[in-house]
Amino acid sequence: MASHNTIAYRRLATDPVLSHLIDRVGRPDPFDWAEREFPSSTNFEAMALHIVGQQISIAAALTIFARVTTAAGGTLTPKRILALAADDLRACGLSRAKAAYLRDLAQRQDDGTIDLEHMDDVDDTTALADLTAIHGVGLWSAQMFLIHQLERPDILPAGDIGIRRAIQNAWHLTDTPSIEDTRQRATAWTPYRTYASALLWASLRAPTTAPVSPAP
């Protein structure tokens, strides 16, 4: 039986521009981040890492996250986060805002407002709404959680500047497409927009060996 990766890229290859990108950069697995960068994590820990990592490098985020985990006694749980004072979290390297965001996440998980560990049956729209209700969790962070932790196959972060620049490059557009233009273009890639996102990100990292075929 063909893998989900194979089926998804076979479908995306019906778009001639994406087909060219597949030939150039291969078929990246959009779901390998968590295992590569953050193995054996709970969904709560992963969402906490997304909050810690906002607007800083992954290396810096992992360093600060390790300090928070140590301060929490070696295991990051909602109750252990709530037991830490804001100053304890700030001493780990978190800003005042991120410390408050992390505590809000812990409070919501602890009181059952959200259940990050049991979201498999929650549809994408509801999951995004629940996640963005957490203070400090924007749409992009919520979408990354759905991709990396829940492994949802049809998520396209249209606001991501990398995605939009990759589309501009691949389709030889004069300007970077707007968020709405990006969403509209991606409609044709349903139900594998997560794979298209991985392909577009990969195209930014790969050397250009030949011009991309123009869009039909």
Quote the pLDDT of residue 55. Answer: 86
Quote the pLDDT of residue 216. Answer: 40
3-state secondary structure of 63: helix
Nearest CA-CA partner of 165 in 157, 14, 216, 29? 157
Q: Which residue has the higher pLDDT, 103 or 211?
A: 103
Quote the pLDDT of residue 210. Answer: 45
Quote the pLDDT of residue 37. Answer: 57
Are 191 and 153 spatial neighbours (Cβ–Cβ below 8 Å)?
A: yes
Quote the pLDDT of residue 4. Answer: 83
Location of structure tokens 């812990």: 106
Q: Does residue 144 surpass a pLDDT of 60?
A: yes
Cα–Cα distance measured from residue 164 to residue 154, given in angstroms and rounded to the nearest whole number: 17
Average pLDDT of the segment spanning 44-50? 92
Quote the pLDDT of residue 206. Answer: 74
Quote the pLDDT of residue 128. Answer: 97
Q: Does residue 214 surpass a pLDDT of 50?
A: no
Which value, to the nearest 10 degrees, does the dihedral of the CA atoms of residues 123, 3, 186, 209 take?
150
Average pLDDT of the segment spanning 43-55? 91
Quote the pLDDT of residue 78. Answer: 97
Whole-structure pTM value: 0.85
Quote the pLDDT of residue 41. Answer: 79
State the chain's mean pLDDT as an integer. 90
pLDDT one-digit tens code per residue, 81-129 = 999 999 999 999 999 999 999 999 999 999 999 999 999 889 999 999 9
